[in-house]
Amino acid sequence: MIHIRKNISLASVSTFRIGGKTELFCSVKTPEHFIRAIEWAKENKIPFRVFAGGSNVVFPDEGLKGLLIRFHGGSLRVLKNTIIADAGVPLAKVIAISLQYGLRGLETLSGIPGTVGGATVGNAGAYGHSISEAVRKVEVWDGKKRRWIPNKVCKFGYRESALKHEPLFVLRVELRLKKGDRKELQKKSREIISIRGKKYKPGIKCPGSFFKNVVASEVSRSVMRKIDAGKIIGGKIPTGYLLEEVGAKGMKLGGIRIPEFHGNLFENTGKATARDVKKLADILRKRVKAKFGITLEEEVRYF
């Protein structure tokens, strides 16, 4: 059973709180309802778009035509050291369950918003680890049939996967974890959440880190000579460092502000627009390119 609503504010379903209205909207929790929503759109020849938690998106000011489907919620189960979760289950819930069962492998992702499906598609990670390390296989739907695909077929990379680019819809994720000490894992999780809480304060209107960090091995030697080697962490050049070097901290454009404490964070001060976001992103991308010879790539997804 799916419930279609009309003229829903996009800003209300995004952590960035930006966007006009979507012509049609439905929120589903199960893979079956998700598939039914897409089939309904196809049967009625209505264009559709899909999103999950709304934590890593920039919706357009002019709104969206057609149907916007939100896959958010669902169920999960634990089998020994394996967790199988519907794609719409919040990542935080999956991590909490893993900690409860003393399963190691997701604790460094603590505090990352969004769903387990969205995290898998974008290969979310933090502190030197990514969710792809735990993904055993992913159930997808290609518009005709459901099937499971193994980790290697997903072609995971830094904040990347083939799932981003193939005409496939993620339905469920199977995570294979390792046994660990429950108290130690819970302690590690609390520490990471505390660190993230200082950067992403409760209620802040933002999509998380805006640009991807830069993989050091993928840039030339001439570029590396311009980089402070002491800033490189886990083989990555922090984009926050690059942006700070070009004066990003404290910048404002329209309703967007970059706080003084982090150069890679775009904050909506109340009346920001997608146009503000794109304009400021373009300015900063050009500055970093001019100073370091590096072209930044957004981690957020524009609709």
CB 257 within 8 A of CB 265: no
Enclosing H/E stretch for 138: strand 135-141
What 3-state DSSP class applies to 271? coil
Distance from C-alpha of 284 to C-alpha of 278, rounded to nearest angstrom? 10
Which among 227, 274, 237 is positioned nearest to 254, based on CA atoms?
274
- Under 8 Å CB-to-CB from 143, ≥6 apart: which residues? 38, 167, 169
- Under 8 Å CB-to-CB from 101, ≥6 apart: which residues? 78, 182
Distance from C-alpha of 186 to C-alpha of 98, rounded to nearest angstrom? 10
C-alpha distance from residue 202 to each of 127, 154, 285, 291 (Å): 21, 33, 28, 34
Q: Could you confirm whether 217 is annotated as catalytic?
A: no
Q: Could you confirm whether 209 is annotated as catalytic?
A: yes
Q: Could you confirm whether 75 is annotated as catalytic?
A: no
Place of tokens 């904050």: 267
Token readout for 24 is: 């049609």
Which among 91, 82, 177, 174 is positioned nearest to 137, based on CA atoms?
174
Distance from C-alpha of 303 to C-alpha of 298, rounded to nearest angstrom? 13
Q: How far does CA 49 lie from the centroid of its chain?
A: 16
Q: Which of 209, 257, 267, 285 is catalytic?
A: 209
Q: Which of 136, 159, 196, 301 is catalytic?
A: 159
Beta bridge pairs of residue 211:
298
**Enzyme catalytic residues:** 159, 209, 299
